Amino acid sequence: MDKSEALTLLEGSKPSCAIRSTIKTHLGESEGNDVWNRAAEILSGITNRYPPFPKEEYVHTKGIFNASALHLSLKEITPDKALAIIEEGMASYAKETAKTYQRMVKFPFGRTIFLKGFAKGAKTMFGESAGFRQEFHHADGNSLRFDVLGCPYVKYTTELGCPEIAHIFCNNDIYAYAYLKGITFERTQTLGTGGAKCDFYLYKSKQEE
């Protein structure tokens, strides 16, 4: 992948564009463009380091590599502000996308549909073919409990020299699941913050109407 292809990849990524907007808010248009262009150069180098990924894993590595490239670029230009800017930009995107789930659970039987759908999707989205290791404990229309024991977000951010951003992806889960009406999301630890696992426990917090 060359720089122009990397630029296209960044520009087609909603999370990356949210981070770009945050970068420009903090650094201004000119310096923001410098960060963006340098990130494309870094992203080109990152993608060329790895063979093609299976599509299930690529869903994750695409976001990991984009965010890592932007963070590494920011570290070159404004090392003291880099992490805070990436955190803010990713949070703005995650909070916006979480609104879809928030709307879903408000419909009749929406919580049941959400929990069943999440359980089914998690087995592939966070499964071995996607670069994860997981252990499922329980899943039905009332509750869901599973652990992630191995994570590509930790693996690749570490390999790329920016493990300090791994927790940002953990935070995305909080924005996505912690503010759902009638559903409680409990977590005690994550791999991205030095834990032994990422534990997911979601359950209805009151009876279905």
Q: How confident is the model at residue 208 (pLDDT cuts 50, 70, 90)?
A: very low
- Residue 195, pLDDT score: 97
Percentage above 90 pLDDT, the chain? 95
Q: What is the pTM of this model?
A: 0.93
Q: Is the pLDDT of residue 15 over 80?
A: yes
Give the separation between CA 158 and CA 52, rounded to whole angstroms. 19
Q: Is the pLDDT of residue 207 over 90?
A: no
Give the separation between CA 98 and CA 85, rounded to whole angstroms. 20
- Residue 209, pLDDT score: 45
Give the separation between CA 201 and CA 199, rounded to whole angstroms. 7
Give helix then strand counts, H and E, for the chain: 8, 4
115 within 8 A of 140, measured Cβ to Cβ: yes
Q: Provide mean pLDDT across the span 180-194.
A: 96
Give the model confidence (pLDDT) of 20-72 as tens digits: 999 999 999 999 999 999 999 999 999 999 999 999 999 999 999 999 999 99
Radius of gyration of the CA atoms of the chain, in A = 18
Q: Provide mean pLDDT across the span 192-200.
A: 96
DSSP SS3 for 133: strand
Element (H, E) at 11: helix 3-11
